[in-house]
Amino acid sequence: MGKTSKDKRDIYYRKAKEEGWRARSAFKLLQIDDKFNILHGVTKAVDLCAAPGSWSQVLTRRLNENYEKLKEAKSDCTLIAPKIIAVDLQAMAPIEGVIQIQGDITNINTAEQIIAYFDNEQADLVVCDGAPDVTGLHDMDIYIQSQLLLSALRITLRILKPKGTFVAKIFRAKDVTLLYSQLKIFFTSVICAKPLSSRNSSFEAFVVCRDFNLPEDFNPDSLDTSISEFSKLKGVNGYIAPFVICGDLSQPDSDTSYPLDFEGQKFEYCKPTQSPINPAYEEAISLLSVINLGKDSASCTLQGSSMTIDDF
């Protein structure tokens, strides 16, 4: 089935178009907000990895609705209008009321630009729907995704106000508990949310982290510290795991090439204790057409090529 017919069958894809959202992802944030009420009382928000902009649209619509309701109820002209900053590698069509920064969230300069825009004020909410271009190599995709999340967290630690909220895309993979533990250092509540609009077949989910609280003595700058400065950091900022060498100096060094006849012992070839069960080169060997029969295997060649068996 082609892409078009699949898209047509996707209710959220259709609804997004009907309701004027730039992407179906809008429903993920809407459903997270319906469940956790994360947008309540928010006036300053940062949308990381925002393009094409459906989460920024959700933020503008809901924050402005809240603002108008409050204004009506309180007739208070000192109320501050919502401020939203959207960041992405890609250029994004403008959205009224949203300040845009085109930049890489893994780059410290981007973090500094966001901070400058906030002009020493703090955000109530940081969201990140960042996703790398999927390579199809699962371990690689999961690793890059977790690095994006940590970059988003680095920015968050600098700009989120105490008790603030952080929401970010996460891939539920083998080592996801490590990420949860890292987030739990900074937030009282860390919940893994799967909105109904996020496909079941996808291992994508969202961490909803609430009640931000920077541990005492924790210095967010330490996350950007160079190795040379690292040793100056104290306590929670500069923990280094002990490094222990196992074995003593009388044993051979694994990086050195030794002669075959080593320490008076004559070299004798030994078969592997256990050959690979399903080696990657098996298919190549089965395709190998041995010519020049009767010759030593080292001189066998692949039909139509100059490769010898030693090339495997």
Binding site for ligand SAM (CB under 6 A): 22-23, 25-26, 49-55, 88-90, 104-106, 129-132, 148
Please say whether the beta carbons of 15 and 182 come within 8 A.
Answer: no
Catalytic residue among 3, 71, 169, 232: 169
Residue 169 annotated as catalytic: yes
Smallest distance, ligand SAM to C-beta of residue 129, A? 3
Smallest distance, ligand SAM to C-beta of residue 16, A? 9
Please say whether the beta carbons of 192 and 168 come within 8 A.
Answer: no
Residue closer to ligand SAM, measured from CB, 107 or 303? 107
Residue closer to ligand SAM, measured from CB, 52 or 238? 52
Residue closer to ligand SAM, measured from CB, 130 or 220? 130
Q: Is residue 13 within a helix (H) or strand (E), and if so which, with residue range?
A: helix 11-19
Q: Would you list the DSSP string of 116-171?
A: HHHTT--EEEEEE---PPP-S-HHHHHHHHHHHHHHHHHHHHHHEEEEEEEEEEEE
Decide: helix, strand or coil at residue 224. helix
Decide: helix, strand or coil at residue 248. coil
Please say whether the beta carbons of 95 and 87 come within 8 A.
Answer: no
- What's 157-174 look like in SS3? HHHEEEEEEEEEEEECCC
Residue closer to ligand SAM, measured from CB, 55 or 187? 55
CA distance 42 to 62: 10
CA angle 25, 55, 201 (to 5 degrees): 20
Smallest distance, ligand SAM to C-beta of residue 218, A? 24
Smallest distance, ligand SAM to C-beta of residue 49, A? 3
Smallest distance, ligand SAM to C-beta of residue 24, A? 8
Residue closer to ligand SAM, measured from CB, 106 or 301? 106
CA distance 106 to 148: 7
Q: Which residues are catalytic?
A: 169
